Amino acid sequence: MNKELVMYGRRFACWDQSRAMTFLSEKKIPYRFVDISADPNASARLIEWVGHLSVPTLVIAQPGEVLPMRDPKPLDRSQRVRGQDRDTMITEPNNDELESFLRTHHLL
C-alpha cells in the first residue's frame, strides 16, 4: 500500500477518539498512533493544522511518515473543524464521516 492512516490523539482518549479507534478496530483498518500528549512536535503540528488540539485528527500519509502525503485543503473557518474532510485530513469525524473519508482513500 502506498499510503497509511495516521491518528493524532491523546494517551487518555476522549469520546471522539475512543469511537474512532473502535470503528477502525471493528473494520480491521490499521493505523499508526501519534500521541500528542508525549510529543510536543506533534502537538505543534496539530495546532498549526486545525488551530487547537482537536483529537482525533486523522491524516493520510506516506508509509512511515506522520505528515499528510499532500497539503490538506484549507480549513473553512466559517464552519466547525469537526468532521471537515480536507482531502488528506479529517478532525473529530463521526462514524459516517470517517467511513466516507476512508472509502475516498480506498482504505475501506
For the chain (108 residues), the mean pLDDT of every run of 10, in chain order, is 93 92 97 97 95 95 95 85 93 97 95
Domain that holds residue 39: 4-104
> In the chain, where do the E strands start and end?
4-9, 32-35, 57-61, 89-91
d(CA 60, CA 7) in angstroms, rounded, equals: 9
Query: What is the chain's percent helix, strand, coil content, to nearest 5?
Result: 30, 20, 50
> In 3-56, where do the E strands start and end?
4-9, 32-35
Distance of CA 35 to the CA centre of its chain: 12
pTM: 0.93
pLDDT at 13: 82
pLDDT at 76: 79
Residue 61 belongs to domain with CATH number:
3.40.30.10
User: Number of folded domains in the chain?
Assistant: 1
